[in-house]
Structure 1
Amino acid sequence: MITIGRKNRLTALRLTSVGMFLGDDDGNDILLPNKYVPADLREDDEIEVFVYTDSEDRPIATTLRPAVERDQFGALQCVANTSFGAFMDWGLEKDLLVPLQEQQEPLTIGRWYVVYCGYDKQSGRLIGSTRINTLIDDEAPDTINEGDEVEALVYERTDLGLNAIVNGQFRGLFYANELFKPLRNGDRLRAYVKRVRDDRRVDLSVQPIGVASLEPNAATILAKLRASDGFLPLTDASDPQLIYRALEMSKKAFKKAVGTLYKDRKIDIKTDGIYLKSE
């Protein structure tokens, strides 16, 4: 079966003047236009392609990879507006349409939005939607627990902070006063479940639980240490500009944060820098 909106692994059937026709095990075929046919592709070879519809709504194959696939969420830039909807650049020749009725708010050319890629069975077309809250659950499944590592896609700013799509399924919240680095709509990141409330709604943290309770600069240093094999060549004697370039904080803030981590026995301080203790 050839599925529109997803990657399909198909077999090269026959080369024609317009391109290579590809087929599946059920006898269906589809055109891969000449410009996407690899020079070494031969009949009976297998190839992975993305299938969507062209400007005349005919199914077509491409070797290009879109920024979002069917039943997924992704960050896309608005490139055109019409009386019936907005077009989003998703990396293919034909832009993805977000119809007016599928827009949470009017879309502005040049801005980035989190978009859901859906399939309209009536028209056979892929369409986008920015009405994210109607497409995800408010409550986390029973398999989600405090401390779990998850994938978060930030999509909406609220009075409390930033809403994110968690694992492509449900909503989670980053509280603004707990963020130690700026996040924007469309940012995709590893996050952690800080709290699962009684109503199964989820609060998120950008740091593993336990680290989240640290003051923000201490959490930043700890994250940098973990990402740098447990060592940072920074000390009380380091140049303030060097500290700022490495951590984006002042020397005063650095010294205070290091003191907090040392007191909590999370680091060792030596003459050549700071070391992460075994966890």
Structure 2
Amino acid sequence: MDQIIGRVAAGKVTDENDGYYFVQIEGATFQLDKNEIKKPLQLGSNFRGFTYENESHKMQITRNVPKIQIDHYGFAEVVGFKHDLGIFVNIGLPNKDVAVSLDDLPTIRSLWPSVGDHLMIALKIDKKGRIWGQIADEEIFNAIAKPANNKMMNKNVQATVYRDKLAGTKVITDDYHLGFVHPNERDVEPRLGQHVAGRVIGVHPDGSLNLSLKPRAYEAISGDAAMIFAVLKHSESGQLPYTDKSDPKAIKKFFGISKGQFKRAVGALLKQRLVTEDEQFLKLTEKGIAKVVE
């Protein structure tokens, strides 16, 4: 049985009921959901599919073979977790999420993947015939990586965290370049499997990248500018009746800051093209509307 589970195997249809065909492979019987089959199968027909134990602990076979298999790696979305077991990922099976053991996850619980994060895994079968997700190791990422070139310098990239270490964070970009984030180049340590936005601050001779997860100086919003931007974002109309022509007392009463502070903050937002200003209103631009408040 252990040589069949979690693999593509072929067998014969030996029985059926209203909902399932039953396929026998090397003496073991697997149920096949009839909803998967467009043309009825005959008893004695050959059928080939992916075998697994479903969440009801029944042996099942499906024609919808997942891309992630034993020794076949791919990204799987995290769909749940159980503190005393690990996390669960979706590999495309109709009624089975695959567990990744807590033994393979970071010891710091806050660095565990969250729902919606993605891990690169293959499948493995334990001694009891249970399917587990096996996280890709360094060798796998080195094998699938593409070398970057110097033209990448200062480019924005999107990447997925595949290793958390005290010395820094290892990521693979959406274009399959390997990257490293030094602790000084991040405000918080990202989770394993988290999708992050960064920029290239170095290109190594081997084609790997040094990345920063911190915004460029001109992209950062802080202090009074962040406060004003947040107020704008939470206003129904995306605008406020305050400008550099407004009365200082009105500004002080509404924002709690001086007119000078207000003008400097608005200047920072204007420079980043997050707002526009006319005679009467401070307004969000399309870029400002799209930007998420940190």
User: Could you tell me the TM-score, scaled by structure 1's length?
Assistant: 0.50
1:44 aligns with: 39
Q: Residues 120-144 of structure 1: CA distance to partner in whole angstroms, max 9, x if unpaired?
A: 5999985423464343129962356
Percentage identity across aligned positions?
Answer: 16
Q: Residues 123-169 of structure 1: CA distance to partner in whole angstroms, max 9, x if unpaired?
A: 99854234643431299623562355543223444446533232384
1:86-125 maps to which residues of 2 (within 5 A)? 88-91=87-90, 92-93=95-96, 95-96=98-99, 98=101, 103=104, 112=113, 115-120=119-124
Q: Distance in 2 between matches of 1:180 and 1:149?
A: 17
- Closer/same/farther in 2, CA of residues 171 and 185 from structure 1, 3 Å limit: same
1:1-279 maps to which residues of 2 (within 5 A)? 16-17=16-17, 19-20=19-20, 31-33=31-33, 37=35, 43-44=38-39, 51=50, 53-54=52-53, 60-61=61-62, 69-70=68-69, 71-74=73-76, 75=78, 77-79=80-82, 88-91=87-90, 92-93=95-96, 95-96=98-99, 98=101, 103=104, 112=113, 115-120=119-124, 127-130=132-135, 132-137=137-142, 141-143=146-148, 145-148=152-155, 150-159=157-166, 161-167=168-174, 169-179=176-186, 183-205=190-212, 212-214=216-218, 216-217=220-221, 233=239, 237=251, 239-240=254-255, 256=264, 258-262=266-270, 268-270=276-278, 271-274=280-283, 276=285
- Closer/same/farther in 2, CA of residues 201 and 107 from structure 1, 3 Å limit: same
Indicate the SS of the match to 2:142.
coil
Q: Distance in 1 between matches of 2:108 and 2:33?
A: 32
Answer whether contact 2:122 2:136 (CA < 8 A) is retained.
no
Stretches of structure 2 lacking an aligned partner (at least 5 in a row)? 1-5, 23-29, 41-48, 244-250, 288-294
- Closer/same/farther in 2, CA of residues 151 and 116 from structure 1, 3 Å limit: same
Question: Which one has the bigger helix percentage?
Answer: 2
Q: What is the aligned-residue RMSD (CA, Å)?
A: 5.7
Q: Which structure would you say has the larger Rg? A: 2
Q: Distance in 1 between matches of 2:136 and 2:16?
A: 42
Q: Which runs of 4+ in 1 moved over 6 A?
A: 121-125, 251-255
Q: Distance in 1 between matches of 2:38 and 2:238?
A: 55
Q: Distance in 2 between matches of 1:99 and 1:265?
A: 45
Stretches of structure 1 lacking an aligned partner (at least 5 in a row)? 7-12, 23-29, 242-250
Q: Distance in 2 between matches of 1:32 and 1:272?
A: 64
Q: Distance in 2 between matches of 1:186 and 1:88?
A: 12
1:10 aligns with: none
Deviation at 1:173, TM superposition (A): 3.1
